[in-house]
Amino acid sequence: MTIAPVAISWTALAPMVVLACGGLVVMLVDLLSRSASRAVLYGIGVVSCIAAFAAMLPLYGRSIVTLNGAFAADRFSWTFDALLLFTLALTFLLSSLRKADDGGSPGSYAALLIFCTIGGMVMAGANNLIAVFLGIEQLSLALYVLAGTGFPRESSQEAALKYVLLGSLASGFLIFGSALLYGADGSMALAALAKAAASLSPLFVAGFALFLVGLGFKLALAPFHTWAPDIYEGSPLAVTAFMAVGVKVATFAVLARVVYAAFGHDSPALVALWAIAILSMLVGNFGAIRQRNLKRLMAFSSIAQAGYIVVALNGVNREGLSAMLFYLAAYAFTTMGAFGVMALLGDGSESYADLDAYRGLFFKRPWPAALMALFFFSLAGIPATAGFYGKILLLQLAFNGTAWGVAMAVTLVLGTLISFYVYGKVVWNMFAAVEGEAPAASGNAIAPWIAVAAGALGTIVFGVLPQTFYASQPFLAAAAK
């Protein structure tokens, strides 16, 4: 029996290869020079992101399928990869404030972040079920370790243990669902799912349901969200920021590719997805109301935001994919910026994860307070911010004439109204009369200021000039087929 050779396109794999080389360089420098500073190691990480993005530029607008069809570097994956690299670079900038006793070697920490991102890039380009699982596991295994590198160690390690136990269970659902999907259509290719989806055989329905449970956990969609508040609170601040943005970007790439490859506009199999979106918007916004810890508040916010993004898949058309990419970009800018302000104010500590620390902040630190208000206004959907225009796009997609579309639109509006209070209470605290002193913090480091400035720039530009991004995206949906 002759085994056919695997066709490899190094052009398509170049961004991941470059990023992997950066991870190896970080480990080598850390090994050879145990006194290497965090600035050097994280600087190598940022340079690796820039180099990987440079390797992506020749791929813009192209579609290359490699590894015998298992991986695709196409117009669909390009923007997801760019968002992942952006998130990784900003995570390194925020990590520059980590203290020496925060746990673990800075070289190991940086390498884990890099290889975690490579797993996300594999997910963005995965063209069959095996590649999807490999990408998710590479991303998840690195995050399990990163979640346990925070301080105090007890709470961080507890968060890591919860994450690995629940994450392993979700992976079991995912791989069992993949096995059933393979049994339904006899192929691992995502494109082959369309035939089985059209017939809605019991095997396909069961497989897709289990597959959706696995992805729902990674996205923190209700009712698979219960891990998020505890893990967000216990993980290091920079890791929480990466978890909130990077994991969602990579997993939504998988979900969108599966939905666009397998389903038509009115497939009844997607009803479960719409129900999950509605539940997530309600659970996320209502759950955030009573939160006093901002990391937990951002966890519930991420649940609601994930529900919003699912609305973009309503109709399974090219406008939906464009809206998803726009909203993901807006979410990345605002969320990374908000975590950047927390890191900046606390000088790398968790002191500004508590809502009470923001009392009267504007009168002590007006610029960080104003920027935090900007980011929370965008998450709430206030006009002239990226989040506002993103929600307008989602509402247009939701009103497609179906009952589920209208239900999602109404829930989105209701969730947005609730979020005005959720984010508004933080802003109100910052501009309220001062009662006592907030925790002392220098907040003079340049690196986190760069991250905050990048988040603010994106939030404003995408809100005032949304066509600079959105107008260039409609062609992307063709790549999902």
Burial of 99 (0-12, 13-18, 19+ CB in 10 A): exposed
The more confidently predicted of residues 443 and 445 is 445
Nearest CA to 221 out of 282, 294, 135, 146 is that of 282
Q: What is the mean pLDDT of residues 459-464?
A: 92
If you average pLDDT over residues 9-32, what whole number do you get?
Answer: 93
- Give the pLDDT band (50/70/90) at residue 436: low
Phi, psi of 56 (to 5 degrees): -80, -25
pLDDT band at 173 (very low <50, low <70, confident <90, very high): very high
The per-residue pLDDT for 98 is 67
pLDDT average, residue stretch 29-39: 81
Residue 463 has pLDDT above 60, yes or no: yes
In this predicted structure, what is the pLDDT of residue 477? 38
Answer whether 302's CB lies under 8 Å from 334's CB. no
Strand partners for 65: 72
Report how far residue 460's alpha carbon sits from residue 219's, in angstroms, rounded to the nearest whole number: 26
Residue 46 · residue 131 · CB < 8 Å? no
How far apart CA 30 and CA 22 sit, in angstroms, is: 12
Task: Enter the pTM of the model.
Answer: 0.92
Which two three-digit tokens encode residue 185?
Answer: 């259509």
pLDDT of residue 479: 39
Q: How many CA atoms lie within 13 A of 402 on its CB side?
A: 16
195 vs 192, 253, 261, 267, 270, CA distance in Å?
Answer: 6, 21, 10, 12, 15
More confident residue, 437 or 5: 5
Could you read off the pLDDT of 368-422 as tens digits, one per residue? Answer: 999 999 999 999 999 999 999 999 999 988 887 688 889 999 999 999 999 999 9
pLDDT at 444 over 70: no
Token pair in block for residue 418: 């609730």
Per-residue pLDDT, 131:
94
Residue 31: predicted pLDDT: 86
Cβ atoms of 22 and 44 within 8 Å: the answer is: yes
Percent of the chain with pLDDT over 90: 58
Q: 21-48 burial, b if ≥16 CB within 10 A, otherwise e? A: ebbebbbebbeeeeebebebbbbbbbeb
Measured CA to CA, the distance from residue 408 to residue 211 in angstroms comes to 22
- Sort strands 64-66 and 71-73 into parallel, antiparallel or unpaired: antiparallel
**For the segment 208-254, what is each residue's pLDDT rounded down to a tens digit?**
999 999 999 999 999 999 899 999 998 889 999 999 999 999 999 99
Rounded CA gap, 420 and 289, in Å? 10
Give the Cα separation of 435 and 422 in Å (integer): 21
Q: What percent of the chain has pLDDT over 70?
A: 90
pLDDT exceeds cutoff 90 at 150: no
Is residue 366 predicted with pLDDT exceeding 80?
A: yes
On average, the pLDDT of the chain sits at 87
How confident is the model at residue 481, as a pLDDT? 40
For range 283-294, the mean pLDDT: 93
Residue with token string 């807006």: 330
Rounded Cα–Cα distance for residues 59 and 380 (Å): 35
pLDDT band for 4, please (50, 70, 90 cuts): low
Measured distance CA(409)–CA(304) in Å, rounded: 13
Res 193 pLDDT > 90: no
Residue with tokens 């809100």: 463
Residue 261, judged by CB atoms within 10 A of its CB (0-12, 13-18, 19+), counts as middle
| Total count of residues recorded for the chain | 481
